[in-house]
Homo-oligomer: A and B are copies of this chain.
Amino acid sequence: MTADTEPCRLTATDAARRLAEGSLTSEALVSSCLERIAEREATVRAFAHLDRELALPEARACDRRGRPGPLHGLPVGIKDIIDTADRPTGYGSPIYDGHRPAHDARCVIRTRARGGVVLGKTATTEFAWSFPGPTRNPHHPAHTPGGSSSGSAAAVADYMVPLAFGTQTGGSVIRPSAYCGIVGFKPTYNRYPMAGIKPLSPGLDTLGLHARTVEDAALFDAALTGAAPLDSAAAAGSLRIGLCETPAWSKAEPAVRNALHRAADVLSRRGMRIELLDLPDAFAGLLEAAPLIMRTDGAVSLATEYRDHRDRMSEFARRSVTAGAATDAAALSAAWALVESCTAAFDVLARDHDAILTPSAPGEAPASLESTGDAAFNRLWTALHAPCLTLPAGTGPAGLPIGIQLVGRRYDDRHLLAVAQRVESVLRDGGV
């Protein structure tokens, strides 16, 4: 980082340091982000709503207030299924064009209480389900950015904002982060508050984060939870990493297989213990059980929209609500029972590993804007409520980013972040 780096390109950690020193103002940082957006938004389409006349005064107020919380002066992107009282919240659906919630979501209130500045609302797929929004991959506009947190991942990747909220029900934080070449963190289920976020499948929906480095994700996480700074000593010994192909392995493209094994190789050469981890056979059933739960809940969550406005829902959403409403009660019970028995087994397996290393997505971002890609490498961990983080690990045949995923023990989010920070640094040194 040189002194004349554009502020929008700073990591959140570097920007926070400069803001604390007084060598950067929130207004200058937000202005720089807005300039970047002005330059790139026509191509990337990351924002559902952006108003400089809301963001800039908020930044100036931060500069004047000067009682720095851990996010003091940092702009944050808010996925547009998260309620904001001062900005429209459209849930990615024309049904909610111009909708203005009465209250901010709890995570927005919290972000501001810790000093953060709301930059704007980032584009989401329809109701954070699968029908794509307008966003394009900043590395190549003919490719999907992934979804459902499409705008958040693309905006962070494209230096429009250093931090953003995303949500994951299937793979909606990890996959777009991997496709856009950034860090995505889906914490243990319910680590961050869900009030004021449009529900899709409440037993799976998890609020998560997008950032450009693990350190930035850890900064954002600590601000939201009050956690102490990362304990790098905890991740300093000989880490035990479980290499896990998962029951979705047949979907992994060669570039992903290579990235994963190359990463394992580099980590192993740097003294980490890499052990093959086979999941019990029952886990394969989660690839069916998780979507069954999601569409059954989705039919309930979107029942009112379906009843009153189905003409303005995508064909995908209509079909999913219909299929979800037809779920057999016994099948739903069986799906939850499978999730719980796998969670019990996972807790035992996870105890022996500092993290599990596994693909973030089947491949690079597909060359299409019609689909946001496949959540096959995400559904399992989301259903298990386990914390997951994706890190960039090279590129694929089209030159687009490939991610690798680290999965941790439930409720041990800070350990996963500390391990991920070490892995990130080892891979960087190893030229991955």
Q: Which residues on A are within 8 Å of B, measured CB to CB?
A: 69, 85, 102-104, 106, 109-110, 112-114, 189-191, 193, 195, 202-203, 225-228, 329, 332-333, 336-337, 340-341, 343-344, 346-348, 350-351, 385, 409-411, 413
Contact of A103 among B104, B336, B409 (CB under 8 A): B336
Q: List 14 A-B contacts (CB under 8 A).
A: A104-B336, A106-B336, A106-B340, A109-B336, A109-B337, A110-B343, A113-B340, A113-B341, A190-B193, A195-B203, A226-B346, A226-B347, A226-B411, A228-B351
Do A203 and B106 touch across chains, with their CB atoms under 8 A apart?
yes
A235 to B112, CA, bound (A): 34
- Closest-CB distance, A289 to chain B (whole angstroms): 13
Do A329 and B103 touch across chains, with their CB atoms under 8 A apart?
yes
Residues of B within 8 A of A409 (CB): 226
Do B343 and A113 touch across chains, with their CB atoms under 8 A apart?
yes
- Closest-CB distance, A331 to chain B (whole angstroms): 11
- Closest-CB distance, A283 to chain B (whole angstroms): 14
- Closest-CB distance, A410 to chain B (whole angstroms): 5
Known: A195-B203, A202-B195, A336-B103. A114 touches B226 (CB 8 A): no
**Closest chain B residue to A339, Cβ basis:** B109
Do B109 and A340 touch across chains, with their CB atoms under 8 A apart?
yes
Known: A195-B203, A203-B193. A344 touches B113 (CB 8 A): yes
**Closest chain B residue to A112, Cβ basis:** B340
- Closest-CB distance, A151 to chain B (whole angstroms): 25
**Closest chain B residue to A349, Cβ basis:** B226
Residues of B within 8 A of A340 (CB): 106, 109-110, 112-113
- Closest-CB distance, A184 to chain B (whole angstroms): 20
Residues of B within 8 A of A333 (CB): 85, 102-104
- Closest-CB distance, A43 to chain B (whole angstroms): 36
**Closest chain B residue to A105, Cβ basis:** B336
- Closest-CB distance, A177 to chain B (whole angstroms): 23
- Closest-CB distance, A402 to chain B (whole angstroms): 30
Residues of B within 8 A of A189 (CB): 193
- Closest-CB distance, A209 to chain B (whole angstroms): 15
Residues of B within 8 A of A114 (CB): 344
Do A351 and B85 touch across chains, with their CB atoms under 8 A apart?
no
Residues of B within 8 A of A112 (CB): 340
Q: Please name the 3 residue pairs, one residue from A and one from B, whose CB atoms are nearest each other, closest first.
A: A226-B347, A190-B190, A113-B340
